[in-house]
Amino acid sequence: MTRGMAAIAGLCIASVALAIGPAYAAQDQPDPVEITVLGVGDILVHRQIIDQAKADARDDAKVDFRPMLEGIAPLVAMSDLAVCHMEYPLGSANGPWSAYPDLPNAPPQLAKALAWFGFDACSTASNHTLDQGFGGVVSTIDAIEKAGMVAFGSARSEEESLVPDIVEVKGVPVALLSYTYGFNGIPLPSGREWCCNRIDPERIVRDARHARKSGARIVIVSLHHGVEGQVTPTQEQRTVVQALADSGEVDLVLGHHAHVVQPVDKVNGMWVAYGHGNLLSAQSRKDPRSGDGLLTMFTFVEQKDGSFEVERAVGYAIRNSDYPFRLHPVPDRGSATSEDKGTWRRTKDAVMRMGARDKGFRLLRLGG
């Protein structure tokens, strides 16, 4: 082969390589990671809920919360990271247990039931975090961790309080942060002020930034805030959310406390569910709205630059029926009862008040 022929052959080979190279390179590129995060409403272990758990218990168990929670199992199974909100402190497995109007002290078997159905973590910062003192803070975290979940929002030691709670989901570090507006007038224990997180936008942004420096690629914040029974977010709620969105450090806000469903919104690219209503409670006979709950699912998709953005935002209306207490995702229209239709109507009205539908949020029916 002459030098000229060799050069031509080389050009041909190079052309072929250029032609097929991108195809092979494309095949070698892994699919972007998708992570679906699930959020639910307040878990309030009222006396009637404890009584129901006792009635549902079998095989010498003292209490069993699984029959009450079973209805949402198919939805929890659809998520990659299922996050609950443990409003009341968890005490001893053998009791005694108490509930409002006394200072709540709930059965830790509840945490096992939540883990049984696939929940991965529970936020613990609420206005009831200190109801059983620092001992209750410790026992609650212990119970959640013993069940195999992550507890975030309170701490057993100062060292623990300084380390961001980061869980790995599909190989992606996700930070979980939790804060409350207050503790019903109960002061933080002297010398242990670090045990529970209070809402302070500047502090939350610092914590989120610290979590990212510690490796987190997604930051989720749980906020226990708002006014009980009020659907419309307060100006204070909106101000805090706006500050978090403006910081660029927070990817998602999951809200609780109002005991009624509040709107979903997208602020500067950050999704927020201001209030998920109740998941499990005995409040519905006082106010039907307190028997309604919102279950949200936000699907984060990895972008080319390595960041994550929510590309799918949906929710399901959950009805908490009583006597027996059971959770029911609102089904398709053909199967919906009059009670289901009431929950759907109230939940849809609340969720969409701030234009969530136009921003891409969808409220779905189970099986519909």
pLDDT tens per residue across span 271-292? 999 999 999 999 887 889 999 9
How many degrees, rounded to 5, is the angle at CA 281 between CA 174 and CA 197? 40
Judged against a pLDDT cut of 60, whether residue 20 lies above it is answered with: no
| Measured distance CA(36)–CA(45) in Å, rounded | 27
Mean pLDDT of 66-75: 98
Other Cβ atoms less than 10 A from the Cβ of 312: the count is: 14
Q: If pLDDT is split at 50, 70 and 90, which confidence band does 113 have?
A: very high
The pLDDT, as a whole number, for residue 368 is: 64
The pLDDT, as a whole number, for residue 74 is: 97
The pLDDT, as a whole number, for residue 323 is: 86
Spatial contact of 53 and 63, defined as CB atoms under 8 Å apart: yes
Model pLDDT for residues 218-250, shown as the tens digit of each residue? 999 999 999 999 999 999 999 999 999 999 999
**What is the gyration radius of the CA atoms in the chain, in angstroms?**
24
| Measured distance CA(277)–CA(216) in Å, rounded | 28
Pair of tokens at residue 179: 């804060």
Judged against a pLDDT cut of 80, whether residue 215 lies above it is answered with: yes
| Measured distance CA(63)–CA(74) in Å, rounded | 23
| Measured distance CA(218)–CA(207) in Å, rounded | 13
| DSSP per-residue letters across 288-350 | GGGGEEEEEEEEEEE-TTS-EEEEEEEEEEEEEETTTTEEEE-B-TTT--HHHHHHHHHHHHH
Helix 201-213 to helix 235-247 angle (10° resolution) is 30
The pLDDT, as a whole number, for residue 334 is: 87
| Measured distance CA(161)–CA(134) in Å, rounded | 14
Spatial contact of 296 and 275, defined as CB atoms under 8 Å apart: no
Our separate counts of H helices and E strands in the chain read: 10, 15
- % of the chain at pLDDT higher than 70: 92
| Measured distance CA(273)–CA(69) in Å, rounded | 21
Judged against a pLDDT cut of 90, whether residue 14 lies above it is answered with: no
Judged against a pLDDT cut of 80, whether residue 11 lies above it is answered with: no
Spatial contact of 218 and 174, defined as CB atoms under 8 Å apart: yes
Judged against a pLDDT cut of 70, whether residue 21 lies above it is answered with: no
**Domains assigned to the chain:** 34-364 (3.60.21.10)
Pair of tokens at residue 351: 């969720």
Q: If pLDDT is split at 50, 70 and 90, which confidence band does 59 have?
A: confident
